[in-house]
Structure 1
Amino acid sequence: MTDIQDAAPIEDRIAALPDRTLFLLDDDQALRTRLGRALESRGFVVTAAGSVAEAIEVLKALAPAYAVLDMRLDDGNGLKIVEAVRERREDARIVMLTGYGAIATAVAAIKAGAVDYLSKPADADDVVKALLASGDEAPEPPENPMSADRVRWEHIQRVYELCDHNVSETARRLGMHRRTLQRILAKRAPR
């Protein structure tokens, strides 16, 4: 019962918005569909895309008031789309999503014009809170932030990917023993 009461004010705030258009960009179709439906159920008018090329085409006809963009896509970087959204609509509120949380990319996203930066899998309520936070107030922290072990694991996975899955090079860059890294890579992601 409490969840319904907590959700009502958010839905009322969204319904009162003069423009509820939202552009969603993510190359993970399951996440894009799930998040798109969740945002629509809260009152946004969602248009979704799965690639940078598709996003550029969609943005030729759409000037969204809100955008939720994935940072890393198969065919490019979501920062390019932040700029494209800003060109179409200067006052758009943009939230960046990423599976590879890093301070450098968070800073780049904010400098490009995003209002917040959330790690995947992001809860729809956290996304809405970030989108609706006023300019002078920071959004509330997420209900279920990633654990320190998960952040460490994500960082290791990111460096491993950047090193083209070369265990020796990844271990050298992370300053750890190769066998230790192999044990970490063989385990499942922590929660």
Structure 2
Amino acid sequence: MDPERLLLIVEDDAAFARTLGRSFERRGYGVVHAANLDAMEALLETHSPTHAVVDLKLSDNSSGLACVQLLHQHDPAMLIVVLTGFASINTAVEAIKLGASQY
């Protein structure tokens, strides 16, 4: 795993996370996956991702925005992209304010 290109995927849909992960692995990224905020926090204890893709709505009611905020606090230089099927101007603005690079 290239420590300079480690992608964290925070996504509750395991099949989508695997598909997305494979796409990034083909481009030379190492990939780790967390299904919710708690799993993400555990991964951050042992991994230092350089990039993150975060689902806005997670099935266990974890907030994707809480994930973004924690990731930005963990590493302000991390590139964070928020994915959602429930886009709104308000959540886009909030995600960017909390540290997301793209929404």
Q: TM-score by structure 2 length?
A: 0.90
1:84 aligns with 2:70: yes
> RMSD of the TM alignment (CA)?
1.5
Which residue of structure 1 aligns with residue 48 of structure 2? 63
Name the SS for the 2:4 alignment partner.
coil
- Greater RCO, CA 8 A, separation 6+: 2
Name the SS for the 1:91 alignment partner.
coil
Show CA shifts across 1:120-177 (max 9, x none): xxxxxxxxxxxxxxxxxxxxxxxxxxxxxxxxxxxxxxxxxxxxxxxxxxxxxxxxxx
1:97 aligns with 2:91: no
**Aligned residues between the structures:** 101
Higher helix share: 1
Post-superposition offset of 1:38: 0.5
Which residue of structure 2 aligns with residue 108 of structure 1? 94
Higher strand share: 2
8 Å CA contact 1:51–1:73 kept in 2: the answer is yes
CA distance in 1, matches of 2:47, 2:74: 8
Show CA shifts across 1:12-32 (max 9, x none): xxxxx9810110110011110
Q: TM-score by structure 1 length?
A: 0.50
Letter in 2 for 1:54: A
CA distance in 1, matches of 2:75, 2:48: 6
The list of structure 1 runs, each at least 4 consecutive aligned residues, that deviate by more than 6 angstroms after superposition, is none
Which residue of structure 2 aligns with residue 42 of structure 1? 27
What is the identity percentage for the equivalent residue pairs of Structure 1 and Structure 2? 39
1:6-155 maps to which residues of 2 (within 5 A)?
Answer: 19-75=4-60, 76-117=62-103
